[in-house]
Structure 1
Amino acid sequence: MKMTSAPLDLDAVQAFVRIVDLGSFTRAAEAMRTTQAAVSLKLKRLEQRLGCRLVERTPRHVELSARGAAFLDHARQLLEVHERALSAFVSARERLVIGISDHVAGPDLPALIARMNAQDPQLVIEIRIGTSSELLQSFDRRELDTVIVRLHAGRSDGEQLADEKFGWFAAPSWQHRPGEPLPVATMAEPCGVRVIAGRFLDEAGISWTESFVGGGVTAVVAAVTAGLGIAALAPRMLPFGAVDVGQRLGLPDLPRLPILLHTRVRDGRPRDALAALSAAFRSVVKG
C-alpha cells in the first residue's frame, strides 16, 4: 500500500481511534453518529494516506496491526491538539448533567467517562448516581439532562442501549443452611432489581429473607464478598471469584434487564458526547 501526499483527515483519525477504543466498526459508527459504511470508508482512506493497514479485520473482532499500534498514540495526540486549538476560541464551556443508575454504572464508569471526555474535553460532565426511580423523577423535574437507567415499571419510553444478563451470585465459600430461608443481600427500596428478584423467588415458592440492605451496589457486592448471602447482580458488577449459585440452589432464572437512555439532548456537542457514551455502554455490556 503506497502512501499518498494528501493531508490527514481528522474525521478519519477519529474514526480509527473510535474503532480501536470500542473494538467494533458498528460501535464506532454509533459513537460518531454515522453509518458503519462511512466509518469503514474513513479508515480505508486513512490507511491509503499512510500507506499501511492499521486494523486487521476478522468476523468476530478487530485488532490493531503493528503499524496501527505505532500510529495510535500519535493519533490521540493529534486529536488532543486539535481540541486544544478549538478550545482557545470557545468562550463558555457547555455542561451535561447525567444520572446513571447504580445497577448500571458499575466498575466500567471511569472508562465510560473517559470516552466522553475524549469525545469533547471542553464539555463539563456532571454525573449523579442513584436508583432508576429516583433518577427518572429528577429527569421529569428537568433537574437532569439525561438518565441511563434500568427498565422501570409503568414507563415504556426511552431508547434501549443494551440488555444485560443477571444471575444469583455468592462468595465461593458460601453455603446455604438447609431448612433456613435463603439470605439475600439487596439494595433498599425502590430498587427495581430488588423488586424483580423478590418476585421471582416468591413465584418459585422459595422462602427468603433480607440478610443485608445496602445503599448502593458497591455495598451489596461487599456483603456478598463477606459471605452474608446471595444477590441478584449483573456479572460485570462482581469481584473476581464470585460464583453463580442459581443452578446449584435451584433458583429461578432471572430475565435479561434492559439499559435505557432518556434524554432531552437532541443536537450539538452534548449529543455527540452522549452518542460516544451510548456506544461505549453497548461495548462493555456482554453476555
Structure 2
Amino acid sequence: MIERSLDVDAVRAFVHVADTGSFTRCAEIMGTSQSAISLKIQRLETRLGHRLLERTPRSVRLSAPGAIFLERARDLVAAHDRVLGAFGASRQRLAIGISDHVAGPELPTLISRMNARDTGVLIEIRIGSTGELLQAFDRRELNAAIVRFHDDRDDGKVVAEEKFGWFAASDWRHRHGEPIPVATMPEPCGVRSLASRRLDDAGIDWTEIFIGGGVAAVSAAVTAKLGVAALAPRMLPFGVVDVGPALGLPDLPRLPIVLHSRVRDGRSAAILGELSAAFRSAARD
C-alpha cells in the first residue's frame, strides 16, 4: 500500500502561497527560506499527483486542481490546529505590542485572521507609543513589539519602510505670518521627535496646537482643521491632503517598521511572520 499521508507544514505553506501569491512572503510568514517553501510545495504536489500552482517569473497562481484543493487544505490546517489546541497542556500566550503609528486600519482584520488560523494561541495586543512598548518589551511584559524605528535602539529587525508626509484637511488654510500649527502625539513618540527636529532644523516657525493619545485622535484634530500632522498615507482619514510642498515644510524620510522579538520558532513565530508580512505589504501599498 502506497503511503499517502500529507505533511501539514507543506499544506500550510501551500495555503500561505495561495493567500499571498508569493513564495517569498510565505517564507517570511513561516520563518524559513524561499527554497525550503518551494521544496515543500513540490513534495506536496508529488504526494497528490497534481500540480497545485502555476509559476512564472512574475506571478504565482492556482492551477485548477490547486483551486479545488485550497478549501480542503484550509480545513486540514484548521483541524490540525484545533486538535493541538484541545490536547495541548494550555494555550500559548503571545503578547504583542504594536505602535499606534504602525497598527493602522488593517489591524482588526489581521487580528481576526490570526485568531481564526490558530486558536491554540492566545493573542494579546497592546497599542501604544514606540517608547512605551519598547520599555514593556525590555521588562518582558511583551513577547514581541512591532514599532517605529527608535533613535536609542540598534536591535530589532526592519520589516518595512513607510513614507510619511505633512497632512491637513483639504479646506484648511494656514494664516500668513503665524506659526504652523502642528498636531502630535505625546512623548515618547519617535514620529513626534523626528517631525519637530526636522521643522527646527529647517528654521520653520511652528507651534504645538494639539496633543492626541493616538493616531486616531491626531487624525481627528487634522480633520477638524486644527492644523497639520506628520502621518503615513495609509492612516489618513477622508478629506485629508498633503500640504508639505505648498507650505514649504521639510521632507520626512521613509520610517522603518521594526520587529523586536524573543520568539524564535513554533506557532507564535508563524503568527509574527504573518503580521510582519502584512505590515510590509501595507507599507508598500
Q: How many angstroms does 1:41 deviate by? A: 3.0
Taking a change above 3 Å as real, the CA distance of residues 119 and 29 of structure 1, as seen in their structure-2 partners, is farther
Matches within 5 A, 1:56-67: 56-64=54-62
Which of the numbers 153, 156, 159 marks the counterpart of 2:157?
Answer: 159
2:38 alignment counterpart: 40
Taking the TM superposition and a 5 Å limit, the aligned residue runs for 1:108-257 are: 108-257=106-255
Is the CA contact (8 Å cut-off) linking 1:119 and 1:272 kept in structure 2?
no
Q: Mind listing any 5+ residue stretches in structure 2 that lack a counterpart?
A: none
- In 2 relative to 1, CA 65–232 (structure 1 residues): closer, same or farther, beyond 3 Å? farther
Shift of 1:115: 4.4
Q: Bigger CA drift: 44-53 or 31-40?
A: 44-53
Taking structure 2 as the reference length, what is the TM-score of the superposition? 0.88
Kindly state the Cα deviation for residue 237 of structure 1 after the two structures are TM-superposed. Answer: 1.0
8 A contact 2:92–2:120 mirrored in 1: yes
- Residues 31 and 269 in structure 2, CA contact (< 8 A), matched pair in contact too: no
- Indicate conservation of the 8 Å contact 1:22/1:280, yes or no: no
Q: Which residue in 1 is equivalent to 2:277? A: 279
Over the matched positions of the two proteins, sequence identity in percent amounts to 67
**Which residue identity does 1:139 align to in structure 2?**
F
Q: Give the 3 Å change call, closer, same or farther, for CA 251–84 of structure 1 in structure 2.
A: same
Structure 2 letter corresponding to 1:237: M
- Do 2:50 and 2:65's aligned partners in 1 also have CA atoms closer than 8 Å? yes
Deviations 1:60-100 (A, max 9, x none): 55444565444433322221112222223212111111111
Paired residues of 1:10 and 1:79 also in contact (CA < 8 A): yes
Residues 180-225 of structure 1: per-residue CA shift (max 9 Å, x gap) = 2212111112211011111111111111122221100011111222
Contact kept? 1:27, 1:283, Cα under 8 Å: no
Give TM-score scaled by structure 1 length. 0.88
Greater CA drift, 267-276 or 85-94: 267-276
- Tell me, in whole angstroms, the C-alpha distance in 2 between the residues paired with 1:200 and 1:179: 20
The amino acid across from 1:190 in the alignment is P
Distance 1:28 1:50 in 2: 21
CA distance in 2, matches of 1:245, 1:53: 51
Please say which of residues 82-91 and 58-67 is displaced more in the overlay: 58-67
Matched AA of 1:234? A
2:97–2:125 CA contact under 8 A, matched in 1: yes
Structure 2 CA distance for partners of 1:245 and 1:50, relative to 1, 3 Å: farther
Q: Would the alpha carbon gap of residues 120 and 170 (structure 1) be closer, same or farther in structure 2, given more than 3 Å must change?
A: same
Per the alignment, residue 97 of structure 1 pairs with 95
Listed as ranges, the gaps of 5+ residues in structure 1 are none
Aligned to 1:129, what secondary structure does the other structure show? strand
**Cα contact 1:22–1:283 (8 A) shared by 2:** no
1:267 aligns with 2:265: yes
* Contact 1:131–1:190 under 8 Å retained in 2: yes
Where do residues 9-28 of structure 1 align in structure 2 (5 Å cutoff)? 9-28=7-26
Moved over 6 A (4+): none
SS at match of 1:180: coil
1:22 counterpart letter in structure 2 = T
1:261 alignment partner AA: L
Counterparts of 1:66 and 1:241 in 2: how far apart (Å)?
A: 43
Q: Given that residues 212 and 223 in structure 1 are in contact (C-alpha distance below 8 angstroms), is that contact kept between their aligned partners in structure 2?
A: yes
CA displacement at 1:232 relative to structure 2: 0.5
Is 2:167–2:228's contact at 8 Å kept on the other side of the alignment?
yes
